[in-house]
Amino acid sequence: MMEKMQFKLFGLMLFALLFAIQADAQNMQKGKKIYEARCLACHQADGGGVPNMNAPLDAASNVVGNDIARLVRIIRNGYNERIALDGFYYSNAMTANPDLKDNELADLLTYIRNSWSNKASAVTVAQVQSAKKKK
Amino acid sequence: MHKLSYFFTACVLALSVSAQDNAGLKLPAGFSATLFADQIGTARHIAITNKGVLFAKLNSPNKAGQTIVRMEDTNGDGIAEKLSGWGKYGGTGIYVKGNQLYASSDDAVYLYQLDANEEVTNPTSPKTIIQDLHSRRQHASKSITLDPQGNIYVNIGAYSNACQEKDRSVGSKGMMPCPILDSAGGIWKFDGLKENQSYAQGKRYATGLRNVIGLDWNNKTNSLFVTQHGRDQLNTFYPTMYTDAQNADLPAETMYEIKEGDDCGWPYVYYDPFQKKKMLSPEYGGDGKLEGGKNALDPLVAFPAHMAPMALLFYKGNQFPVKYKEGAFIAFHGSWNRAPLPQEGYFVAFVPFKNGKPAGEWEIFANGFAGPDNNKSPRGAKARPCGLAEGPDGSLYVSDDSKGAIFKISFKK
């Protein structure tokens, strides 16, 4: 009896895990599409950016960091200042993306934070919504 | 003892391998290259003295905290063994005229004095020749060259991509007239010796140039030649007019011969190398078919888009075969705005000249800077050609501003 319960529980957990992985894969795929359409031209296919001009996203401390609100703000509003990142400066103006929906922002950030050498937590729609409230 | 001899054998092997493989470069038959220096910092432009002492201007301080590096090959083996440096400000431009050494930050030009050994005498107290030039992040680097009369020409790049009301934004119109052009987007001329000059003392020599990084005075024509970085992102901002593939090929990177008062057309037009026409920019009502810029200069040479010409040098020496005499070498940094299509550039090109005019198609002279796996991403490339200098013996030096290599290219009959 006990064994059977454990087995059921294990099955349920496995199912949940599989579902989560699948959801992640879907989010990553959606995020990738947005990245290719809006970000790749400047930040490049390898996420490496362009020295002195366009900041790298791969192995960038603030991209894999915890300040989701700042990332959401930069993607939505663009960026028009010289930015210091991990000891280097980047000067190009970044285009604003005010039309991206909350789920799109979440997918895009999930993709960027988990591509190339990046391994950081996925970003949820709830996190994007609370980030937008912070301003 | 054995270990030591193994070590020496390994060193000799390593040296002979690097000599045989031309420091990783692919060169025309008869040419060879050495790695003159390596990892000196973000080496932008380079300049050389009559005795062959090479100076590099760094974009940011290197590990030793220097922004100007002096390199000397004391035993003539093609490798600099005597390195020193000074300077606190980053920048791009450097130029040697006799015993005077000019160097630029992103908003000023300084003048240093060299002694009989071509060592700098005033590393911490240069004269300020030009100051307070616009440095507004984009295209802020100041390239410099001098004419035989001692006038100095400075590129002041446009702090914009296409003079949109809101830079690099979808749907934002081009400003008419473009207000940037009064103080940037052109070449300014100053006295090479007067101190503390700025816009009021200088003269706008040519306009309508988005960003010139390569420039050189041509003694044959007695005129200034420049290479322009064409505008970016036609597909990003006008996806209904330009496909990714069209953006990868448009507009051309261009070379102009400049006379005082010339206008090269930015931001109102860009050059289409396939139609061989100046096209009205989409920010100003263009659609890829409408022409514009009736009074703007036509380029002398059109290179593929986005390759980023960083340095221009007219070859004066006699070491290279006669074909190269008086021709133009151009260092191409390598593209980023061809993405998602494969990047291009990361080589040194050559354009033959006769009587001061291009006399044939451009060709790749030195290639392989991207490295053995040919990674042509801006970050992944092993080296990005940025500066050119011709040594007193006619050898050609190429600087790399990503990892800080200096290549010396020579010809042996």
Report the CATH number that the domain containing residue B37 is assigned in CATH: 2.120.10.30
Checking if the pLDDT of B7 tops 60, the result is no
Residue A26 inside a domain? The answer is no
* Structure-token match 């420049």, residue found: B226
The predicted structure's pLDDT at residue B413: 65
Is A86 within 8 Å of chain B by CB? no
Residue A63 inside a domain? The answer is yes
Q: Which two tokens stand for residue B98?
A: 């006799």
For residue B26, the 8-state DSSP code is B
Checking if the pLDDT of B1 tops 50, the result is no
Is A44 within 8 Å of chain B by CB? yes
Residue A119 inside a domain? The answer is yes
Per residue, what are the HEC states of A95-119? CCCCCCCHHHHHHHHHHHHCCCCCC
Residue A33 inside a domain? The answer is no
Domain that holds residue B310: 2-411
Q: Alpha helix locations (H) across B127-243?
A: 234-237
Q: Which two tokens stand for residue B125?
A: 């107290």
* Phi, psi dihedral angles at B13 (to 5 degrees): -60, -45
User: pLDDT tens digits for B316-370?
Assistant: 999 999 999 999 999 999 999 999 999 999 999 999 999 999 999 999 999 999 9
d(CA B213, CA A69): 38
| Contact state of A36 with B380 under an 8 Å Cβ cutoff | no
Q: For residues B36 and B80, is the Cβ–Cβ distance under 8 A?
A: yes
CA nearest A35 in B: which residue? B340
Residue A11 inside a domain? The answer is no
Q: For residues B281 and B162, is the Cβ–Cβ distance under 8 A?
A: yes
Rounded to two decimals, the pTM is 0.92
The predicted structure's pLDDT at residue B16: 46
CATH code for position A72: 1.10.760.10
d(CA A57, CA A37): 16
User: pLDDT tens digits for B273-329?
Assistant: 999 999 999 999 999 999 999 999 999 999 999 999 999 999 999 999 999 999 999
Tell how many helices (H) and how many strands (E) occur in chain B: 3, 29
DSSP letters for B281-326? PGGGT--SS-B--TTSPPPSEEE-TT--EEEEEE---SSS-GGGTT
The predicted structure's pLDDT at residue A16: 64
* Structure-token match 């080496």, residue found: B43
Average pLDDT over residues A55-72: 96
Residue A135 inside a domain? The answer is yes
Nearest to A41 among B137, B138, B236 (CB): B236
| Contact state of B168 with A92 under an 8 Å Cβ cutoff | yes
Q: In what order do the strands lie in the sheet with B127-130?
A: B94-97, B100-104, B109-113, B127-130
Q: What is this model's ipTM?
A: 0.84
The predicted structure's pLDDT at residue B12: 46
- What is the pLDDT confidence band of residue B385, given thresholds at 50, 70 and 90? very high
Residue A60 inside a domain? The answer is yes
Q: How many domains are there within chain B? A: 1
Q: Which two tokens stand for residue B210?
A: 């988005």
Q: How many domains are there within chain A? A: 1
Which residues of B have a CB under 8 Å from any CB of A?
59-60, 137-138, 140, 161, 167-170, 233, 235-236, 336-337, 339-340, 377-380, 384, 401-402
Instruction: Identify whether B251 is preceded by a cis peptide bond (ω within 30 of 0).
Output: yes
